[in-house]
Structure 1
Amino acid sequence: MGNSATLSITFSVRREAVDPLQLQQLFDEGAFWAQNRSIQKLEQMLACSNPVVAAHADGKLVGFARATSDGVFRATIWDVVVHPQHQAFGIGRQLLQILLEQPQLKEVERVYLMTTFQQGFYEKLGFGRNSSTTMVLVQSEA
């Protein structure tokens, strides 16, 4: 596979654009916290996540992010992953920017996420550290 600089990356917010088998492969190859998830569980996860964002290169899923939200006060971002061969090309940043612009998240007061090693990446996008591995983006003070 070529590098992302020469590939055309397309983004989709349609849940139907995410093939659970390709998602399983992406998690197994690029997400230590999400390896060995069953297809059945991934299908259930997709059905209960809104919004989701997928990045494809030449028809292959190379990036994914999802969230859950009450649409007003709180949201949590989950499972932000970019295939190792496609990292460092801005795909993760674009996944998060698209995710945060979705109606389910755009007006939410606080957006949370948990991360083990990528605090610096999320800080560049406006997230701030707190006393745990949870990070929060305060979008408005209510």
Structure 2
Amino acid sequence: MNKSQIQFSEHIRYAGGERKFEIDLYQLQELLNVSAFWAKGRSIEDLGIAIANSEPVISVSDRDQLIGFARATSDGIYRATIWDVVIHPEYQSSGLGSNLVKTVLSHPRMRWVERVYLMTTYQQGFYEKIGFQPNTTTTMVLHNLANLALVPATEDQLQ
């Protein structure tokens, strides 16, 4: 690996007030399929939707090849969540993953957030080295939201 060819990039730009993402979704799909058991098989369309609704979106490239990726969602002040942190297996253990997470955390949308969350199955030690702490008391999950028969609150219930 020639470090002089490694480049970190943010992939959201604004054009005419509209958010546009500039990342090769096919390379991203391949990177996730090779590097992330939890993200295998994601469709190009779904990846585009996820990226369009995330900020920051950070990638790591070696020349023109995507070798790392992470994204986050945030309200900009109270809470944020980091998603899809991945480094290609050939580039792991080189410090790129830590730099990727630190790049996400230093983004203006993330810098002042009170709490940053992430989910990980096997990489707790990696994130603890960056400063994350285990949190077993606040995380809950609702699966298959689209399949639930949710009834919106009435105006009386919201008051």
- Equivalent residue letter for 1:11: F
Query: What is the identity, as a one-letter code, of the residue corresponding to 1:104?
Result: R
In 2, Cα distance between equivalents of 1:81 and 1:112: 16
Bigger Cα Rg: 2
Question: What percentage of aligned pairs have identical amino acids?
Answer: 51
Q: Residue 121 of structure 1 aligns with which residue?
A: 126
Runs of 4+ in 1 over 4 A off after TM superposition: none
Report the secondary structure of 2:102's partner residue: helix
More relative contact order, 1 or 2 (CA 8 Å, 6+ apart): 1
Cα distance in 2, alignment partners of residues 6 and 133 from structure 1: 39
One-letter amino acid matched to 2:102: Q
Alignment RMSD (CA, Å): 1.6
- Provide the C-alpha distance between the structure 2 equivalents of 1:18 and 1:91, rounded to a whole number of angstroms: 19
Residue 110 of structure 1: CA displacement? 0.1
CA contact under 8 A between 1:50 and 1:68: conserved in structure 2? Answer: yes
Gaps of 5+ in 1: 135-142
Which consecutive residues of structure 2, in runs of 5 or more, have no partner in the other structure?
Answer: 13-20, 140-159
Distance 1:13 1:80 in 2: 14
Aligned to 1:22: 27
Q: 1:66 aligned to 2:71?
A: yes
Aligned counterparts, 1:97-136, within 5 A:
97-131=102-136
Q: Secondary structure at the match of 2:110?
A: helix
TM-superposed CA distance for 1:14, in Å, is: 2.1
Q: Name the CA shift for 1:37/1:65 in 2 (closer, same or farther; >3 Å).
A: same
C-alpha distance after superposition, 1:10-43 (max 9, x if no partner): 0001234421110000000000000000000011
Q: Normalising to structure 1: TM-score of the pair?
A: 0.87
